[in-house]
Amino acid sequence: MRSSGLAQRWLRRLPSYALLIVCAAILLFPVYVTVVFSLHPLAEFLQEGAPSLWPSWEWNNYFASGEGVSDTPIGRFLFNSLVMAVVITAGQLITATLSAYAFAFLRFPGRNVLFVVFLATMMVPLEVAIIPNFQTIQWLDSQFVQRAWLSWTNIRFIDGYPGLVAPFLATGFGTFLLRQYFLTIPRELLDAAEMDGYGHIRKLMHVILPLGKGALATLAIFAFLQAWNQYLWPLLVTNDPDMRTVQIGIAAEAKDISRINVAFAGTIMAFLPMLLLVVAFQRYLVRGLFGGSVKG
């Protein structure tokens, strides 16, 4: 009887599972093709017709000297992307936490209007602001180069990490996400902290942040993935090959048909950190996205 009931439930769910399997196959097919192409020799791409969808297991694309990724500055590209992503993530966590705390718990004139302005920035695409951002970075770079009292710092905004990260250290999305989560924290906890003599900094550090780990992890993952996948902005502010991020470096490799197999291998190496990050922190993503959906 029990086995019959389980079979009936599986049969009822079969259409839903079949649809999910089909959707998953469609989404994963480009990843599969990239993995397969990264394991093909160059001859496979130079022959007539499309390359085979079955791997040739050409591991030299990854490891062999004179042939593979090891002969490109992929390590430097990955390091540049890592520095950019880590600094942007840290910056967004700090700025979003402070602004979200202010919008959630402080009372000041124009708070709601200012919060609406923050939300409005989420509707402005990067492409719209990219020219004024680039002009600002150029001006800052010229100031640090031309002024004697700044030139000794050796800080560069063009072909430098400050220029890569500066426009992305604060986002309206991060403020909105953390504010909505902070509003779900019982007010009684903050009142108790105030009775114990806690100021704003101590309340933030010892009450709000420990309870908001899920939302902070969610913001960190989104910020890191967004920064890691940046292409247009790093392309504009870096001319030095040593300052290229991994996305720019792979695109440069793909332009050379004699290195197309290595470009696919580099794509997989750039994709793995993102995959591991999402898999490792998947539960924080789900918890953080739904944690602030219900207040009370």
> Other CB atoms closer than 10 Å to residue 187's CB: what's the count?
9
The pLDDT of residue 197 is: 83
Contact 228, 202 (CB under 8 A): no
What's the token pair of residue 248?
Answer: 């720019």
Mean pLDDT of 255-268: 80
The pLDDT of residue 289 is: 57
Please give the Cα distance from 112 to 107 (Å, whole number).
10
**For residue 167, what are the contacts with CB-CB under 8 A and spacing of at least 6?**
129, 133, 137, 233
Percent share of the chain, pLDDT over 70: 85
Query: For the chain, what are the domain ranges?
Result: 73-291
With bands split at pLDDT 50, 70 and 90, how would you rate the model's confidence at 168? very high
DSSP conformational letter for 242: G
Per-residue pLDDT tens digits for 103-116 = 988 888 888 898 98
Residue 53: pLDDT over 80? yes
With bands split at pLDDT 50, 70 and 90, how would you rate the model's confidence at 69? low
The pLDDT of residue 296 is: 42
The pLDDT of residue 1 is: 47
Mean pLDDT of 224-245: 90
- Residue 21, helix vs strand vs coil: helix
Contact 285, 218 (CB under 8 A): yes
Contact 177, 215 (CB under 8 A): yes
The highest-level CATH class for domain 73-291 is: mainly alpha
Nearest residue to 246 via CA among 137, 125, 85:
85
Q: What is the CA radius of gyration of the chain?
A: 24
Per-residue pLDDT tens digits for 76-102 = 888 999 999 999 999 999 999 999 999
Cα separation values, 27 from 32, 36, 286, 292, 296, Å: 10, 16, 20, 29, 37
Nearest residue to 98 via CA among 2, 14, 196, 219:
219
Mean pLDDT over all residues of the chain? 82
What's the token pair of residue 50?
Answer: 């499309």
Query: Can you tell me which residue has the tokens 């560069």?
Result: 156
Please give the Cα distance from 17 to 28 (Å, whole number).
16
Please give the Cα distance from 197 to 203 (Å, whole number).
10
DSSP conformational letter for 79: H
